[in-house]
Structure 1
Amino acid sequence: MQKLTLIFLIVALSACSLKRVERFKDITYLTASDSLPEKKLNVFKPKKSKDAPVLLFIHGGSWDSGDKEIYNFLGTRFAKKGVVTVIMDYPLSPEYQVQSMALASAQAVNWMHESIEEYGGSKDRIFVSGHSAGGHLASLIAVNNKYFDQLGVSNPIQGAVLIDAAGLDMKWFLEQMNYEPGTSYNIPFTDSPEVWEETSPIYHLDVEDPPLLIMLGGRTLPGNTLTTERFMEAHKSFEPNPKYIFQPRKKHKGMIVQFIYTPNKVYREILKFMGE
């Protein structure tokens, strides 16, 4: 009897919790064209939200894998904390390259700027985030207005949260790795050093960048550590006191898996960053 009562309480509490969030699935933000495929996003909003801060999350997966549905938990948890959260899909390698992924990400942000008020969010409080390859794309569109210029709109991003981001200095990384042409990360980034530089956020930093919150795991991939350290040094030229969270025991996957735990203190840090 006690076991059945406990199960009932858990189910009841879960149901109450779910009622606090509204979900809107598979909204088309990118229509198919000659250069890009149709892509969709999911929106998670707090009940009765109005003018709430908005967060776009871009998934990782080495630029060639990943799916928005994996991260529904993140949308739900941020929405419970008062943030209208958008989880997007984007074109993947090998069919598409990084420039197309960044343009799609900018299009998702533009969709938010045009439509997010319908979901209780504020178009003037848009933030972007991503893990791994998604962190790279979030950083790239935050500091390089090129992709918004291609859409003929202004960059509305108010800040970026980079969660163990990859590729922040992809030019340096690919030069060090010296992959055979057409292999490994050269597929999404091409064999062109000019493209490597163009798609490396480190080379687009300036005083007009939105604020950045940079998170790094102490046991992450060596390439992530090295490129993030290079990025941090360059960022300090424009922001002497960068916002930085170092988690010494976290591995690369652990940096995103930790968000499953709702009371995790990193939520508080991100909400504080967005509030500032």
Structure 2
Amino acid sequence: MKTLFVLLRFIKINHQYHLRPVKNTLFLVLIFLAFTSCSFKGVNRYKNITFIEDQLLEKLPEKKLNIFAPKKSNGDNDVLIFIHGGSWNSGKKETYNFLGKRFARKGVVTVIIDYPLSPEYQVHDMALASAQAVKWTDQNISKYGGNPGKIFLSGHSAGGHLASLISVRDEYFDTLQYNNPIKGAVLIDAAGLDMKWFLEQMNYEPGTEYLVTFTDSPEVWKDTSPIYFLDENDPPILILMGEKTLPGIKLTTERFLEKYREIVPEPDFHVQKGKKHKPMIVQFINTRNKVYDWILEFMSQ
């Protein structure tokens, strides 16, 4: 709304002080409204809701989530849970409030979560916390206008890894004694899809780099690599990758796709021309970006 007020103020000043005339004023306003039309739809915001009580399963710390829901949500709206990136050791849900608001204005009840980070916690803890967020959402989202039968999971970078891992491997939901309710996964330039292969290639010194998160154990590397758990019972997956993303992400995504095509011969996969890793999530600031259409179409199917 502030941007619209600025535009109208500019038009008023031009008329009041007889500066260079603004031609076709009504046309300019109509163009502006068309460009930002979804931004005027109301959104209900619910901040810092606890979905993990401290010491859940005697290991996980208290964690919270934010919910963004269309004001006219009726209990049948699609639900999207988003897990942020940050190399498994940084990031917070507040950074992605823009994503929640934009999806809500497109009719999707959106949940943005926090999860425990490295070095205090390791990858299994992060995946378990993410599964708990899905469980909480399934049990509570109807109060916020979402349909628990339409829960989709997404993430960027490290968040894409966690989203894919708990979508295809039910161990984390089994630990929570809960059935996996995920209807589909949206991976945005996901890291770690074959972390075992990647760490073997990199040959890091013990206790350094990603090994703080994934431990020094090759068994853990495999246990937390989604590529090794793909089967025909998995929910559908939409995969988005930047053409100029990080080499490790590109190589592990290609390996993941090779395996995935054995199950889904024509996967829902988009390479975004010219995009590097960070711009793959920054692009969502633009409400008219084509990625929204891809994701909404994927969820509608």
TM-score with structure 2 setting the length: 0.88
Distance 2:249 2:65 in 1: 27
Unaligned runs of 5+ in 2: 1-5, 13-28
Q: Does 1:21 align with 2:25?
A: no
Counterpart selection for 2:263 from 238, 245, 248: 238
Amino acid at match of 1:164: D
Assess, with a 3 A threshold, how the Cα gap between structure 1 residues 3 and 114 changes in structure 2: closer, same or farther: closer
1:18, distance to aligned residue in structure 2 (A): 5.8
Question: CA offsets, 1:202-261, max 9 Å, x none?
Answer: 000000000000000010000000000000000001111100011120000010000000
Amino acid at match of 2:63: K
Amino acid at match of 1:43: I
Question: CA offsets, 1:164-205, max 9 Å, x none?
Answer: 000000000000000000000000000000000000000000
Distance 1:187 1:274 in 2: 35
Counterpart selection for 1:91 from 113, 116, 119: 116
CA-atom RMSD in angstroms: 2.0
Q: Does 1:148 align with 2:165?
A: no
Residue in 1 that maps onto 2:296? 271
Q: Does 1:43 align with 2:47?
A: no
Unaligned runs of 5+ in 1: none
Counting only pairs closer than 5 Å after superposition, residues 165-180 of structure 1 correspond to structure 2 as 165-180=190-205
Amino acid at match of 1:140: L
Assess, with a 3 A threshold, how the Cα gap between structure 1 residues 7 and 159 changes in structure 2: closer, same or farther: farther
Aligned residue-pair number: 274
* Bigger Rg over Cα: 2
1:5, distance to aligned residue in structure 2 (A): 1.3
Secondary structure in structure 1 of the residue aligned to 2:143: helix
TM-score with structure 1 setting the length: 0.95
Distance 1:24 1:175 in 2: 43
Distance 2:266 2:116 in 1: 35
Q: Does 1:100 align with 2:89?
A: no
Percent of aligned positions that are identical: 66
Counterpart selection for 2:188 from 140, 163, 166: 163
Distance 2:7 2:200 in 1: 59
Q: Does 1:30 align with 2:55?
A: no
Counterpart selection for 2:153 from 128, 136, 145: 128
Q: Does 1:200 align with 2:225?
A: yes
Assess, with a 3 A threshold, how the Cα gap between structure 1 residues 215 and 19 changes in structure 2: closer, same or farther: closer
